[in-house]
Copies of this chain bind each other. A is one copy, B any other.
């Protein structure tokens, strides 16, 4: 079997299901990948080591985590520092867009019941 390199979605280039190159499409592509949002979420409070991140994501396998971290670093949303992986300023900013996600999710939960 042949290796397939995981394409990094970047604004300005066509992504899955869209040839426009619009930044929002790159963002939607990136965020639609498994674990991306979760990783950002887990880093919201403080930096975490590779292994701590793994734990936080329910023992996520290292190969997948490493892949995602590569994508997040390429996207300049996460970055590796002395105390582990941390959100960049950009990443923190993106996460604020979702700041009320918890609140909304609670409401959603009630509506579904």
Contacts and interface: CB of A to CB of B under 8 A. Distances in A.
Nearest to A74: B112
Tier of interface size on chain A: 35 or more
B109 A11 contact: yes
A59 to B, nearest CB: 8
Task: Please give the count of copies of this chain that the complex contains.
Answer: 2
Interface of A: 10-12, 16-19, 22-24, 26-29, 31-38, 41, 57-58, 60, 75-76, 90, 93-94, 97-98, 100-102, 104-106, 108-109, 111-113
14 contacts: A12-B109, A17-B35, A17-B38, A23-B106, A24-B106, A26-B109, A27-B104, A27-B108, A32-B32, A32-B38, A75-B112, A94-B104, A97-B100, A97-B101
Q: Which 8 A-B pairs have the closest CB atoms?
A: A17-B58, A11-B109, A23-B105, A23-B109, A24-B105, A27-B105, A24-B102, A17-B57
